[in-house]
Amino acid sequence: MLLPGAVCRGVRGRLRPCRTVNSMRPKKTILCVDGNEQSLSIRKLMLETRGYRVLAHHNGREALEAFQRGGVDLVLSDLFVSDLDGRRLVEAIKGLSPSTPAILFSGKISGYDADMPADVFLAKGMYAPVDLLERIRLLLVRKRGPRRAVPASAAMAAGVGMGAVS
């Protein structure tokens, strides 16, 4: 834990304000939908501790309304939720924004079919939390696209990649 106003040594030994976990900006916003309140709160906590902003909803209609307000980068939904099931929710979201990545999960593998509209389908209990986090990361990278290469002249001007000269 850092005290307010604490300073840390940055690059090249310069002093800068220290960052705490609470002062970090969220990476991306994930719309998380699950009818099971306990599962939803566990998933929300796991994602928030990794820096994601999470919009948590218990049913599909509320989740679709939240998506329509904008700012959602990825959808993570249970296949079986009330009002509007996960499959129809993802179909509606893909109709509004085809590039938004979506992950559907379910405890019932029999609910899966080959025409699933989601980018990824996961069976509950068959993956580790680290696997879910990695799939989320990869889908967000795919949505963003590859990073642009920095031209060598610009990198040298900014001092990137240059070691200390003795």
CATH architecture of 21-144: 3-Layer(aba) Sandwich (3.40)
Q: What is the dihedral of CA 125, 127, 133, 139, to 10 degrees?
A: -110
1-10, 42-51, 82-91, 111-120: which has the minimum mean pLDDT? 1-10
Domain boundaries, the chain: 21-144
Sign of CA dihedral 59, 42, 145, 79: negative
Average pLDDT value for residue range 139-155: 66
Q: What percent of the chain has pLDDT over 90?
A: 52
Task: Decide: helix, strand or coil at residue 166.
Answer: coil
Show Cβ contacts of residue 123 under 8 Å, excluding neighbours closer than 6 positions.
105, 106, 107, 109, 112
pLDDT at 111 over 80: no
